[in-house]
Amino acid sequence: MQTQKDDIRRRLLVIAREEFIAHGVRCTSIRTVARKAGVAVGNVYNYFSSKDELFREVLHPLIDALNRYLLSHNEEQHLSIEVFSVRKFQDEYIMAMRTLVKNFRPELRLLLFHAESTSLAGYKERIIEHQTRIGMEYLCLMKERYPGINIDISPFFLHIASSTWMSILSELVEHDEYEEREIERALEQYVAYSMAGWKELMKV
């Protein structure tokens, strides 16, 4: 019985994802999702209390991946002065960002550009605030390891830096007309530009 319930839930999520991507949140109806999933409309509400909850569940894997990506910034392997000069760290950063977009481009479009009138509206700002807090924690963690570095960085500047990253992510999601090599080159140049700035600010 539980297996059947899990199967119905998965089916609803698959169909809902397709409908949200194809038609947007506003024009997707529970009735259509139910019909295409072969489920009675009333039965849908045994799994999801509203269209908004269904939307959040569809985007849950993306939001989880985004959180893991942001939090990885403060993982042990990145708390090293070498992140500012060793190419492998910069390549990892580029690969992680490209992978995020490659795996979740349709979901990212929904979250960043088409989540109005849902509980996920304005999620860009939530990401920026979250990344700003992570940045503050990063500076403190680095100061513990390298007392000589400067971490007297304006919190507002951290907010601006996080907003810039959000803009880059949004551009990557929105513009899929560029060739892979051009995207890679742009990200390499952004990372080089960014690292030079952080080295100057932190007096590395």
Q: What is the pLDDT of residues 34-80, one digit of tens each?
A: 999 999 999 999 999 999 999 999 999 999 999 999 999 999 989 99
SS3 86: coil
Nearest-CA neighbor of 135 among 156, 119, 117, 121? Answer: 156
The residue extents of the domains of the chain are 1-48, 59-202
Query: How distant is the alpha carbon of residue 152 from its chain centre?
Result: 28
Query: What is the pLDDT at residue 90?
Result: 86
Of 1.10.10.60, 3.40.50.2020, 3.40.50.2300, 3.90.420.10, the CATH number of 1-48 is 1.10.10.60
Rounded Cα distance, 160 and 197, in Å = 13
Rounded Cα distance, 111 and 153, in Å = 30
For tokens 């007392």, the residue is 147
Which is it for the CA torsion 48, 18, 120, 180, positive or negative?
Answer: positive
Which are the contacts of 174, defined by CB distance < 8 A and separation ≥ 6?
A: 109, 113
Which are the contacts of 20, defined by CB distance < 8 A and separation ≥ 6?
A: 28, 55, 58, 110
Reply yes or no on whether the pLDDT at 83 is more than 70: yes
Encode pLDDT of 106-132 as tens digits.
999 999 999 999 999 999 999 999 999
